[in-house]
DNA sequence: CTGAAAGCGCTTACAG
DNA sequence: CTGAAAGCGCTTACAG
């Protein structure tokens, strides 16, 4: 504290050279003698020179930084807050020329993601995408990375070497948290049915794995069924109905992805007293929490995920600071009174 | 999307005047004729002109924005993350000239807060402080506000008219969340002891109120004791010990503020099987969660609180955007697997 | 190998 | 009442 940062101009004065020469030294550009370069670098280090971001930004004002955003968000309320976060970041950075081009898709079809990628490909240098676990899509994204495009994976993580970052939650951990909640809310006695979304979604698989690993700690909790619903309420209703018919003893349901409304409908119609915990806090979940139909839900900060995906691009392209490759958002449990 | 924002220079060209005249119109400065002013304002509105923050910031570079920060943080690990948030924000905004002057105090003594205020008072234009509920301190802060100083209250809210903002959590709500956890974790059957910090701290009072109001929903939860420990572990140990002696039936303890270690020590020595939930996730609490001694804890994003306190100043003084007067941080419940 | 200049969008004196 | 200029810290051609 106390001293203001030194500027390139001041370094020039101290070294007795021009601003241009200082720039050559600092940026490792050619056409500068060893001696002057070393002299300048020494001064810069001594005074702890850091280029002023505002000065830099002003130069590149008028330059657009285009960002293609492709989300599997149609009909999935979870993404509403993700989008709000994206829009907020775009607004915060608009003076730096950040601009987005948003494509929204329904479901987890890899072909559609690939064709969306092909549509926006011309000239775009930054990409934010919610991928699925598909070899062809992975290959396509790998190709883009190798072309020098900054690729940010949002919400769902797949193995693309050299991607700029993954922004989302640690799904295994979130599953474990849910498993602990099953244990705590049942005081260690439960016949559990796990409800999952899509096996194409690696995060959904991790969650089931997390829940399972933790409930194994309890001698009197048994997983009696694991059902899938593709994040679709109609499918969810039928799958839950069938599971309840198959298993007379279910007294706890853990919904690890979408299809909340459908699942709850089946449970209500069944009439048995069943404890439910869930993931995320979409409006249907909030409503169910207020009515006591869901006791607790595990949330993953969708707004921050959207914001930070855009921030990754900003940090890389404009601020030129280090970008963390795995950006896990905080996981928090909510109950009825947590809801605003 | 698509179009870049219009600049003051472009407005000048469109209006056929100089940049200076545009500035006079936009800023409501004198020495401009009605007609040209109106013409310029019309163009500005038409093209949705918004001054470029970077251009503005560059002008005022070299100007310091001093912020005095006064925290009741000595010996209170809750504030470690608050400070990390403050430092992160200062770093993010350093190119804009933000600079802090930090004073740390032990305990909640109003006199010390007031004298700390007097020490930093010369020339400072921005203040972030964790206040206590004291009339004299309130008067002092009110005075500062009236002098035009931007006052941000952090963590603890008191009634100062015209303050820039309060950044912290909604303590009543956090108490209600804790009350619900007591209900859920006990399946509605508990003999509850509530542990609080200081009655000087309005937030602590609200939490007790929140817990109490919710456990009243349950016919078989009784509050058998409410004890105070001044956020001090020694006091906490003795108070908990005494409460356990007074009440043979305690089977649930809700620690709503500090003194976690002391309280837990007394419970352990007692040997009874007692469920515990707490607030915040200081290291001692994390440790106790991992050992199963605390089942769940209600957290309030201390890092974000620190960051946003500084951001309030930045938004007001530099970005000149609207600052929300009550900035509530998210409340989240954590269990053992939530801890990194 | 090095310097001088123009420009990013704004503000702030100063000159007419 | 209005304009022309300088400057914030940087980058990017261009001239020597």
B295-335 residue pLDDT tens: 999 999 999 999 999 999 998 888 778 899 999 999 999 99
pLDDT at A3: 55
For an interface test with B, which of A337, A339, A340 has the most B Cβ atoms less than 10 Å from its Cβ?
A337
**Among candidate residues A238, A258, A281, the one with its CA nearest the CA of residue A195:** A258
Say whether residue A292 is in contact with chain B using an 8 A CB cutoff.
Answer: no
The reply to whether A21 Cβ lies less than 7 angstroms from strand C is: yes
**Which chain A residue is nearest to residue B64, measuring alpha carbons?**
A4
Beta-carbon contacts of residue A289 (< 8 Å; ≥ 6 apart) = A281, A295, A296, A297, A334, A335, A336, A338, A339
Name the minimum distance, in Å, from the CA of B44 to any CA of chain A. 17
The answer to whether residue A293 neighbours chain B at the CB level (below 8 Å) is: no
Residue B54 CB in 7 A reach of strand D: no
CA of B30 to C1' of D5 (A): 20
How far apart (Å, rounded) are the C-alpha atoms in residues A270 and A293?
13
* Residue ranges of A 160-199 with Cβ closer than 8 A to chain B: 173, 176-177, 179-181, 184-185, 187
Answer yes or no: are the C-beta atoms of A154 and A102 closer than 8 Å: no
* Distance (Å, whole) CA B3 – CA A304: 27
Helical spans, DSSP H, in chain A: 8-15, 19-26, 34-46, 53-59, 78-92, 110-119, 135-146, 171-185, 202-215, 233-246, 260-270, 283-290, 302-314
Task: Please tell me the predicted confidence (pLDDT) of residue A322.
Answer: 87
B101/A337 Cβ within 8 A:
no
Is the Cβ atom of B59 within 7 Å of strand D at any atom?
yes
Residues 24-63 of A with CB within 7 A of strand C: 24, 30-37, 58-59, 61-62
Q: Is the pLDDT of residue A155 over 80?
A: yes
pTM: 0.88
By Cβ distance, the residue of A96, A177, A295 closest to B335 is A177
For B332, the closest of A179, A184, A332 (CB atoms) is A332
The rounded distance, in Å, linking the Cα atoms of A70 and A62 is 25
CA A41 to chain centre: 39
Strand C positions closer than 7 A to protein CB: 1-14
Residue-level pLDDT, tens digit, chain B, 340 residues: 445 688 999 999 899 999 899 999 998 888 888 889 999 999 999 999 988 888 888 888 778 889 999 999 998 899 999 999 999 999 888 888 888 999 999 888 899 999 999 988 677 889 999 999 999 999 999 999 999 899 999 999 999 999 999 999 999 999 999 999 999 999 999 999 999 998 878 899 999 999 999 999 999 999 999 999 988 899 999 999 999 999 999 999 999 999 999 999 999 999 999 999 999 999 999 999 999 999 999 999 999 999 999 999 998 888 778 899 999 999 999 999 999 8
Task: Say if CB B142 and CB B303 are below 8 A apart.
Answer: no
Strand-pair partners of B99: B66
Please choose, from the candidates B142, B85, B104, the residue with its C-alpha nearest in 3D space to the C-alpha of residue B307: B85
Type and span of the H or E element at B236: helix B233-246
User: Which of B94, B95, B331 lies at the smallest CB-CB distance from A338?
Assistant: B331
């Amino acid at each position: 504290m106390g001293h203001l940062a030194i500027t390139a101009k001041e370094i020039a004065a101290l070294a007795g050279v021009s601003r241009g020469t200082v720039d050559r030294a600092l940026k490792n550009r050619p056409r500068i003698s060893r001696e002057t370069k070393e002299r300048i670098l020494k001064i810069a280090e001594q005074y702890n020179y850091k280029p002023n971001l505002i000065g830099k930004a002003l130069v590149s004002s008028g330059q657009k930084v285009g960002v293609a955003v492709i989300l599997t968000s149609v009909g999935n309320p979870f993404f509403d807050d993700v989008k709000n976060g994206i829009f907020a970041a775009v607004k915060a950075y608009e003076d730096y020329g950040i601009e987005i081009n948003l494509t929204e898709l329904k479901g987890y079809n890899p072909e559609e993601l690939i064709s969306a990628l092909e549509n926006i490909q011309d000239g775009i240098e930054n990409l934010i995408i919610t991928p699925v676990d598909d070899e062809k899509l992975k290959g396509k994204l790998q190709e883009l990375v190798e072309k020098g495009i900054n690729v940010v994976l949002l919400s769902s993580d797949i193995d693309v070497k050299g991607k700029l970052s993954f922004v989302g939650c640690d799904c295994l951990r979130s599953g474990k948290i849910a498993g602990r909640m099953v244990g705590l809310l049942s005081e260690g006695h439960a016949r559990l049915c796990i409800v999952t979304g899509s096996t194409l979604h690696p995060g959904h698989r991790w969650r089931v794995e997390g829940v399972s690993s933790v409930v194994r700690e309890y001698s009197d909790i048994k997983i009696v069924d694991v059902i899938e619903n593709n994040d679709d309420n109609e499918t969810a209703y039928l799958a839950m109905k069938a599971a309840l018919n198959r298993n007379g003893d279910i007294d706890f349901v853990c919904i690890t992805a979408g299809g909340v409304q459908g699942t709850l409908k089946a449970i209500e119609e069944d009439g048995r007293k069943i404890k439910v915990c869930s993931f995320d806090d979409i409006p249907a979940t909030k409503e169910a929490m207020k009515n006591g139909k869901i006791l607790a839900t595990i949330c993953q900060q969708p707004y921050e995920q959207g914001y930070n995906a855009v921030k990754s691009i900003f940090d890389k392209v404009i601020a030129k600071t280090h970008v963390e490759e795995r950006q896990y958002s905080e996981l928090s449990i909510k109950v009825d009174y947590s809801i605003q």
